[in-house]
Amino acid sequence: MAAEAAAHPCGTCGIGRVVDSTLSVPGVTSLRVVDASAIPTIASGHINACVIMMAEKASDMIRAAVSAPAIQRDELPM
Ligand SMILES: Cc1cc2nc3c(=O)[nH]c(=O)nc-3n(C[C@H](O)[C@H](O)[C@H](O)COP(=O)(O)OP(=O)(O)OC[C@H]3O[C@@H](n4cnc5c(N)ncnc54)[C@H](O)[C@@H]3O)c2cc1C
């Protein structure tokens, strides 16, 4: 499911299909997808705020992964 609605395309690699809940691509290290393409279901309104929210959440997750102890860090998708 993906949408191409003029100024609001989204969902081409949505959470649960291509990326997981941490925005990582399973099997690929050191890569997160943080843009409108990762929106899992088509929103009924403008998506700029959704993208900003995802970016804030992703930066929190990346900071947490980087500051985790080394053993724990190896278990986190980066
Ligand atoms: C005319 C217009 C008006 C809009 N008005 C509104 C509005 O009023 N309110 C609202 O909520 N939303 C609005 N939107 C939608 C909003 O701008 C987008 O939903 C949002 O910017 C999408 O964010 P994104 O990060 O997914 O993509 P983008 O903001 O398009 O960012 C993608 C980035 O990836 C880069 N990139 C592309 N390909 C590659 C590559 N191969 N390698 C490296 N970098 C690459 C691009 O250079 C770009 O910087 C509007 C969109 C348009 C076009």
Ligand 1: distance of its center to the CA of 11 in Å? Answer: 13
Please report the pLDDT score of residue 58 as a whole number.
96
Ligand 1: distance of its center to the CA of 69 in Å? Answer: 35
Q: Where are the domains of the chain?
A: 1-67
Angle formed at CA 22 by CA 20 and CA 23, multiple of 5 degrees: 65
pLDDT 10s digits, 39-50: 999 888 889 999
User: How does residue 72 score in pLDDT terms, banded at 50, 70 and 90?
Assistant: low
pTM of the model: 0.82
pLDDT 10s digits, 22-40: 999 999 998 999 999 999 9
Per the annotation, the verdict on 46 as an active-site residue is no
Choose between 61 and 77: higher pLDDT.
61
> The tokens of 34 are what?
């943080």
**For ligand 1, atom 28: residue with the closest CA:** 35
- CB of 7 within 6 A of ligand 1: the answer is yes
- CB of 33 within 6 A of ligand 1: the answer is no
Please, are residues 33 and 58 in contact by the beta-carbon 8 Å criterion? no
Closest CA to 50 of 63, 32, 34, 33: 34
Contacts of 10 (CB under 8 A, 6+ apart): 2, 3, 36, 37, 39, 42, 43, 47, 50
> The tokens of 27 are what?
């099997």
